[in-house]
Amino acid sequence: MPVTRIAAGQISPINIPAQLPVDAPGAIGLNWLPPAGTPLAEWIDYSVDAWQRWVLTLDTLRERAANHRERSRQQAPNVLDFPFELVLDGRSFDRPVNYCLVRIAVEPAGGADPARRPFIVFDPRAGHGPGIGGMKHDSEIGVALGAGHPCYFVGFLPEPVPGQTLDDVCAAEARFIAEVAARHPEADGKPCLIGNCQAGWQIMMTTALAPEASGPLMLAGAPLSYWAGVHGRNPLRYLGGLLGGTWMTALAGDLGHGIFDGAHLVANFESMNPANTLWKKNYHLYADIDHEAPRFLEFEKWWGSPVLLNAGEMQAIADNLFVGNRLVSGEMRSADGTRIDLRNIRSPIIVFCSHGDNITPPQQALDWVLDLYRDEAELIAAGQTIIYCLHQTIGHLGIFVSASVARKEHDEFARAMDIVDVLPPGLYEASFSEITPGTPHAELATGRYVLRFEERGFADLRALGGNDAEDDLRFSAAARLSEINLALYRRFAAPVVQAFASADTAAWLRRLHPNRLRFEAFDGELPWMRGIAPLAQQVRAARRPVAADNTFLAWQRIGSDAIVAALDAWGAARDQATEAFFLNFYGAPALHALLGLDARAVEARRDPGHDLVREALAERDAARLARDCARGGLVEAAIRALLYIARGRQARVADERAFGALGRLRARLPATTRPSLAELKTVARAQAALLAADEAAAVAAIPALVAASPAAARVAVLDAIRLAVEASGEVPAEVARRLAEVQRGFDGAPAGAVREAETATRAAPARRRETTAG
């Protein structure tokens, strides 16, 4: 076997040459590199690669620290990946806040269209940096622009305005929405609001206080029912009870000299997945350093830049939402005493959540519906349309960050927002089916999928799991104990803490938070990091990745998997212990007696109660609709006919293609008679209410509605109705029967049709009374 020789001084862990000539000047005889494929050769290859990856990983962490230092110096850092221009600065308001409204300075696809409804994306503020809603092109902003809509963004600054409150933020957001609406007076629809995570409950509060200003609301991974969840799966909801309530929030605010450090919230999120936080995230960087570094640095710019909140603002969030769960029970009030009742919202609400989300599970995203309304009939009577979409696997951040989710769910909803706006009141689940060559009437769909809204009931929400009466009693006990502990802290401990806290000590505590120390520990100015940058340059110039089938690389992966499994097991054991403590401690009857709680009081708290004004208005509207049953024209008849036919399906489904057919009909109508989207929404809701009140009377009035229309117009409308019914490719027998019934009414209104319709209308109240009496 020939002897491989290495020239003296050329041995380096950075660059070990594969072969040097035996006669190289100054060469020394050395059996340095064994034959390829032997264990020693594999070990040498792996050692070189591992050392190089370690140097490059340190250099990436050094770069992360430099990015963090640079962003800390910026007045308004964000990761928004779109050019923008400032529209309104909340710091200049009479009630100043650290929020801003910006216009995304990119023309929508196909150019600006004043008739397209604007979109407003609201950034979440849960401790991390701003801009996540638009940190990449495939995002909520990107798909809104791609669908042809002008887009705006509501972000925030790292430091709050002194004295800023939740009410101030709601007032500022209402002003932002009004400003966007005023900028687009010709838009066929009010602004669509997208609230990510904590921004979801924020826009719900804003809309409840100003319900007339907004169009559809989309809540992406937004928690509203903080107590809800499933045993064994959602441990974050127990955290407040485990800590004894929100007194620690008050302590953190006092130690921060009136400022709450968002790094605490980020740490709570990261604690949910110890394997990812303590190992997987950094290991993935190390294991795939040649490709992973850019993505790692991009994400860390947002996730690793915690912002600050006013202590009072954070305390209100923790007391009213995290622990108190008062928003869905109707117990929250604005500064002027106005009750924040989410039932005031009349805009359609889309809830996008995921079974893979351990921060906002489906129960926390959806159970507010069960808290606010007794049943489906009450939801419909309230005129509310709620659509939910359940993803099976995506995690919390992926709901509003994942490019694949943006290209599918967010893109389809953006394209179908006009459909959402005219859906009749009710509860629906959205589903997507990919368009194939065999998809019937695919030309009526707007994207790569056919979007369908299938009517659901409250039983479907309950089937997802949730709290029982005993769980609610436990969480009520935790909330009551939190109030007691907070009062004790404020009475006895807070004065002492506040006396010793100062702006300087608060700044040092923030700097020493582990979330920030992990950046500063790798700062390139530190002695142990100064040589990393030049060393990394040498490594990149002489990079020798190890073969994918290297035995020692396989052992590395096995070792990593073992560490992950151990951390996952520890996390699961911790979560089980947390849940067991919470269920047993807060479920103790003795504690309930000490706190003055009983099951009846808790059940009464869950019922938001009657709103006599709202119910009186609903009865007035129902009476008015009954009187107007035979009033209207071709548009009212078409909408009523479509809704009547749809009620014949066993599973009531609103198909995107049916609305596409209706849109074609609307486009062919003369401009003088063509209804706007707002008018179409009003007509659709009115016709749905008429059919729900008395279907027979409403159908009998159709001939009267079309009697004055020309025959050609009736034929065109009937053709559009037929296309809408057949668009999905399946026409059940009952649907076909109803279609034929509608066709007879459209083909020729018989003599006396108006008189017959009016007679049916007058008879409707009597029939309802007989039905009630029976």
What is residue 133's predicted lDDT score, i.e. its pLDDT? Answer: 74
How many whole angstroms separate alpha carbon 172 and alpha carbon 99? 8
pLDDT beyond 60 at 603: yes
**97-101, 153-157, 539-543, 678-682: segment of lowest average pLDDT:** 678-682
Sign of CA dihedral 105, 108, 111, 114: negative
Taking the C-alpha atoms of residue 220 and residue 233, their distance in angstroms, rounded to an integer, is: 20
- Neighbouring residues of 271: CB distance < 8 A, sequence distance ≥ 6: 277
Stretch 250-264: mean pLDDT: 96
Q: Residue 667: its pLDDT value, please?
A: 73
pTM for the model: 0.88
Q: pLDDT (tens digit, 9 = 90+) per residue, 499-524?
A: 999 999 999 999 999 989 999 899 99
Binned at pLDDT 50, 70 and 90, residue 769 comes out as very low
Assess contact for 660 and 727: CB atoms under 8 A: yes
Residue 299 has pLDDT above 90, yes or no: no
pLDDT in tens, 311-326: 999 999 999 999 999 9
pLDDT at residue 765, as a whole number = 44
**Does residue 531 have a pLDDT over 90?**
yes
Separation CA 683–CA 424 (nearest Å): 10
Predicted confidence (pLDDT) at residue 32 exceeds the cutoff of 70: no
Q: What is the pLDDT of residue 606?
A: 62
647 compared with 75, residue with greater pLDDT: 647
Q: Dump pLDDT digits (tens) for 339-386.
A: 999 999 989 999 999 999 989 999 999 999 999 998 998 898 888 999
Q: Count CA within 13 A, CB hemisphere, residue 763.
A: 12
- For residue 29, pLDDT over 50 is answered with no
Confidence of residue 625 (pLDDT cuts 50, 70, 90): low
Record the tokens describing residue 192, joined without a space: 């669509």
Domain limits, the chain: 84-227+325-467, 612-773
Tell me how far the alpha carbon of residue 549 is from its chain's centroid.
41
Q: What is the CATH number of domain 84-227+325-467?
A: 3.40.50.1820
Mean pLDDT calculated for residue range 108-129: 85
Smallest CA-to-CA distance from 761 within 687, 682, 699 is with 699
Query: One-letter amino acid identity for 272?
Result: M
Q: 124 or 678: whose pLDDT is higher? A: 124
Query: What is the amino acid identity at position 433?
Result: S
Is the pLDDT reported for residue 767 higher than 70? Answer: no
Tell me, what's the pLDDT at 61? 96
pLDDT band at 111 (very low <50, low <70, confident <90, very high): confident
As a whole number, the mean pLDDT across the chain is 86
**CA dihedral of 474, 478, 481, 486, whole degrees rounded to 10:** -170
The pLDDT of residue 308 is 94
**CA pair distance 58, 536, nearest whole angstrom:** 9
Higher model confidence: residue 248 or residue 435?
Answer: 248
* Rounded-to-integer distance, Cα 351 and Cα 362, Å: 9
User: What pLDDT score does 402 carry?
Assistant: 85
Give residue-wise pLDDT tens across range 159-188.
999 999 999 999 999 999 999 999 999 998
Residue 705 has pLDDT above 50, yes or no: yes
pLDDT for the residue numbered 670: 66
